[in-house]
Structure 1
Amino acid sequence: MNKKLVLPAFTLRAAKQNIQRIENAWNSKDPTKIATVYTSNCEWYNGPDFLCGGSSLQTFLKNKREKELGFKLKLEYWAHTDKSIAVRFEYEYHTETGQWHRAYGNETWEFTEDGLIEKLFIRIVNSPICESERELY
Structure 2
Amino acid sequence: EEYRLVKDLWAFTDNRIAVRFQYECRTEGQWYRYYGNEQWEFAENGQMRRREASVNDLPIAASERRFLWIAPAPRPQEHPGLVGV
TM interval, shorter chain, is 0.7 to 0.9
Please name the residue that 1:86 is paired with: 18
Counterpart check, 1:120 vs 2:56: no
| TM-score normalised by the chain length of structure 1 | 0.46
Structure 1: runs of 5 or more not aligned? 1-68
1:130 equivalent among 56, 61, 67: 61
Structure 2: runs of 5 or more not aligned? 69-85
| TM-score normalised by the chain length of structure 2 | 0.73
Paired positions, count = 68
Counterpart check, 1:99 vs 2:36: no
Cα deviation, residue 113, structure 1: 2.5
| Paired residue type of 1:92 | E
Cα deviation, residue 127, structure 1: 0.4
| Paired residue type of 1:89 | F
Counterpart secondary structure, 2:66: coil
Cα deviation, residue 112, structure 1: 2.1
Calculate percent identity across the aligned residue pairs: 46
Counterpart secondary structure, 1:114: coil
Structure with the largest fraction of strand: 2
Counterpart secondary structure, 1:88: strand
